[in-house]
């Protein structure tokens, strides 16, 4: 998944349609990307984490008209709403791209001019069914039994117009080879297999422009046609790093290390996007992680069912870190997963309030009760349990490689449990305990807390800082390459308990 020759890591989320409000689906992808961006920064990589909004196309133009606004004003306000939501979730994005920005339009124009110079562009006439919700063309066989779009369950529109086409069909073999050999690494495996079996059916050429749409970027070689919104949108992944405008930056970060996306948009990302890049002589992305969907209390999340959960609803209940944790623990990988409020509350209480939160106050209370403030962990502090801590840290690292956030969290929870096991076994509150043993117990537990503060940082940065502050530790300002491994070694640094303990979770 990583570039071997360089220390950079370029990671992206999809750019979301501005007309929809942020919900736990879009928050999920964004928090997962943030988790990875923070992890790789901690590991000393030069990370570029890109997010943004998709602002063109007929769907947005219609929504603007319905709101009685010009599309320009409409997208500006709604884009800010996304940015604000991501800031509220403590998303550490390096840049936020809007497809209405000039730098993006310039990149699209340059990309399309290059495409026109290639042998893969031709003019033809298009006849097909268009779903406004998906902004996607369909054949009759793709529709449901009522002739509606299978995703939106809404009528599609028969469109017949002159369009420019991209000869996608000529890329079937090369894509198959690159995907099968993991040069373009699509995961989890079930998504890779789906894409491969789709490729096995042979690809059809795709239209890259629309005649009847006015809101978008005109083709540089045919001003009567507007760039198809999906082509426009995909190019965000290179416009944000300066394609055609800042070559140095562009080649520092391209090809992307990782695109994150949901299963509904896998074909655009895993097939059309790499083919477009190959057509203009650019490298395809290195890896694409395709997650599944959240359902809510057993039902598809949708406006008509009024069951859309917004990130702010969760933040009100569980705080920012709690929300991030719960989304990451529920990340649907191979299959959809169901979000149930009661389950989220139970998990919050078990894992955070009574898990990590209790551990924190339990350990510090014992240390302070015995007036132990200086902590100097050593290899002698319960080596049997230390071994298990290290094993769990290794499991955490393995889980991150495959973006198995649930597994990464389970490794964290195991380390929390080890302190409980130790306390129940040794009973440090008992008066009969001898002093060296007491020191061992405190050392082990606080060192474990220090390690946990590192492991939880990508998930819950504020909680990590709260723990580190009490232990007199820094907040990861200076981290050269490889520092993470060192920091995670047992007894890497001494600690002094500095301040009063507060509750980590309410």
Give the whole-angstrom CA distance, residue 214 versus residue 293. 32
Q: What are phi and psi of 238, to 5 degrees?
A: -110, -25
Q: Are 58 and 132 in contact (CB under 8 A)?
A: yes
Q: What is the smallest separation between the CB atom of 12 and ligand MSP, expressed in angstroms?
A: 8
Which CB, 14 or 285, lies closer to ligand MSP?
Answer: 14
- CA 126 vs. chain centroid, Å, equals 35
Which CB, 294 or 476, lies closer to ligand MSP?
Answer: 294
Which CB, 263 or 414, lies closer to ligand MSP?
Answer: 263
Which CB, 246 or 302, lies closer to ligand MSP?
Answer: 302
Q: What is the smallest separation between the CB atom of 103 and ligand MSP, expressed in angstroms?
A: 16
Smallest Cα–Cα separation from 357: which of 505, 146, 487? 505
Q: Tokens for 306?
A: 């009024």
Q: Tokens for 94?
A: 């390096």
Which CB, 15 or 459, lies closer to ligand MSP?
Answer: 15
For residue 447, CA distances in Å to 386, 413, 416, 487 come to: 10, 15, 12, 11
Q: What is the smallest separation between the CB atom of 233 and ligand MSP, expressed in angstroms?
A: 4
Residue whose pair of structure tokens reads 């009760």 in the numeric block: 369
Which CB, 52 or 322, lies closer to ligand MSP?
Answer: 52
Q: What is the smallest separation between the CB atom of 293 and ligand MSP, expressed in angstroms?
A: 4
- CA 127 vs. chain centroid, Å, equals 36
Contacts of 312 (CB under 8 A, 6+ apart): 85, 88
Which CB, 109 or 290, lies closer to ligand MSP?
Answer: 290
Q: Tokens for 365?
A: 């209370």
Angle (nearest 5°) at CA 246 between 44 and 281: 95
In the complex, which residue's CB is closest to ligand MSP?
262
Give the chain's radius of gyration (CA, Å): 25
Question: Which residues are near ligand MSP by CB under 6 A?
Answer: 14-17, 20, 25-26, 28-29, 54, 233-234, 236, 261-262, 264-265, 293-294, 301
Angle (nearest 5°) at CA 337 between 456 and 26: 65
Which CB, 142 or 426, lies closer to ligand MSP?
Answer: 142
Q: What is the smallest separation between the CB atom of 160 and ligand MSP, expressed in angstroms?
A: 25
Q: What is the smallest separation between the CB atom of 25 and ligand MSP, expressed in angstroms?
A: 3
Contacts of 428 (CB under 8 A, 6+ apart): 366, 438, 441, 442
Q: What is the smallest separation between the CB atom of 16 and ligand MSP, expressed in angstroms?
A: 4
Q: What is the smallest separation between the CB atom of 192 and ligand MSP, expressed in angstroms?
A: 17
Q: What is the smallest separation between the CB atom of 303 and ligand MSP, expressed in angstroms?
A: 11
DSSP helix/strand/coil, 411: helix
Q: Are 2 and 414 in contact (CB under 8 A)?
A: no
Q: What is the smallest separation between the CB atom of 284 and ligand MSP, expressed in angstroms?
A: 15
Q: DSSP states of 255-309 as a string?
A: SPSEEEEEGGGHHIIIIIHHHHHHHTT-PPPSEEEEE--EEETTEE--GGGT-PP
Which CB, 234 or 438, lies closer to ligand MSP?
Answer: 234
Which CB, 43 or 55, lies closer to ligand MSP?
Answer: 55
The string over 236-262, giving b where at least 16 C-beta atoms fall within 10 Å of a residue's C-beta and e elsewhere, is: bbbbbbbbbeeeeebeebbbbbbbbbb
Q: What is the smallest separation between the CB atom of 241 and ligand MSP, expressed in angstroms?
A: 14
Which CB, 76 or 487, lies closer to ligand MSP?
Answer: 76
Contacts of 144 (CB under 8 A, 6+ apart): 150, 153
């Amino acid at each position: 998944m990583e570039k071997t020759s360089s220390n950079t890591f370029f990671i992206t989320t999809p750019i979301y349609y501005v007309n929809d409000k942020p919900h736990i689906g879009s928050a999920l992808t964004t928090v997962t990307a943030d988790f990875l961006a923070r992890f790789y920064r901690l590991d000393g990589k030069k990370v570029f984490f890109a997010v943004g909004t998709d602002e063109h196309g007929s769907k947005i133009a219609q929504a603007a008209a319905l709101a009685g606004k010009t599309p320009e004003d409409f997208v500006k306000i709604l884009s800010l709403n996304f940015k604000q939501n991501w800031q509220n979730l403590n998303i550490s994005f390096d840049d936020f791209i809007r497809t209405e920005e000039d730098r993006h339009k310039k990149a699209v124009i340059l990309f399309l001019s290059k495409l026109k110079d290639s042998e893969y562009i031709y003019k033809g006439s298009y006849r097909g069914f268009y779903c406004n919700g998906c902004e996607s063309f369909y054949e009759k066989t793709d529709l449901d039994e009522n002739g509606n779009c299978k995703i939106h369950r809404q009528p599609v529109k028969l469109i017949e117009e002159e369009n420019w086409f991209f000869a996608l069909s000529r890329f079937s073999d090369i894509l198959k080879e690159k995907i099968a050999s993991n040069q373009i690494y699509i995961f989890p495996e079930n998504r890779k297999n789906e894409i491969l079996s789709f490729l096995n059916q042979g690809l059809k050429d795709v239209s890259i422009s629309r005649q009847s749409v006015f809101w978008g970027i005109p083709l540089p070689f045919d001003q009567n046609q507007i760039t198809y919104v999906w082509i426009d949108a995909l190019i965000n992944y290179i416009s944000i790093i300066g394609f055609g405008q800042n070559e140095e930056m562009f080649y520092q970060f391209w090809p992307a290390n990782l695109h994150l996306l949901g299963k509904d948009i896998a074909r655009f990302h895993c097939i059309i996007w790499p083919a477009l890049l190959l057509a203009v002589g650019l490298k395809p992305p290195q890896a694409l992680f395709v997650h599944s969907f959240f359902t809510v209390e057993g039902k598809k999340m949708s406006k008509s069912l009024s069951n859309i959960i917004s990130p702010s609803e969760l933040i009100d209940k569980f705080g920012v870190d709690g929300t991030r944790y719960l989304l990451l623990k529920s990340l649907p990988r191979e299959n959809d997963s169901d979000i149930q409020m009661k389950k989220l509350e139970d998990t919050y209480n078990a894992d955070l309030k009574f898990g990590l939160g209790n551990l924190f106050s339990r350990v510090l209370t014992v240390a302070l009760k015995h007036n132990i403030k200086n902590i100097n962990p050593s290899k002698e502090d319960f080596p049997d349990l230390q071994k298990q801590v290290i094993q769990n840290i290794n499991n955490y690292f393995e889980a991150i490689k495959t973006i198995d956030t649930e597994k990464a969290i389970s490794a964290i929870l195991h380390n929390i449990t080890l302190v409980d096991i130790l306390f129940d076994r040794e009973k440090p509150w008992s008066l009969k305990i001898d002093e060296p043993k007491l020191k061992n117990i405190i050392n082990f537990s606080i060192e474990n807390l220090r390690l946990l503060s590192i492991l939880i940082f990508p998930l819950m940065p504020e909680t990590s800082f709260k723990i580190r502050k009490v232990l007199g530790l820094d907040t990861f300002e200076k981290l050269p390459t490889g520092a993470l491994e060192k920091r995670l070694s047992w007894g890497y640094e001494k600690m002094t308990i500095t301040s009063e303990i507060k509750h980590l979770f309410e």
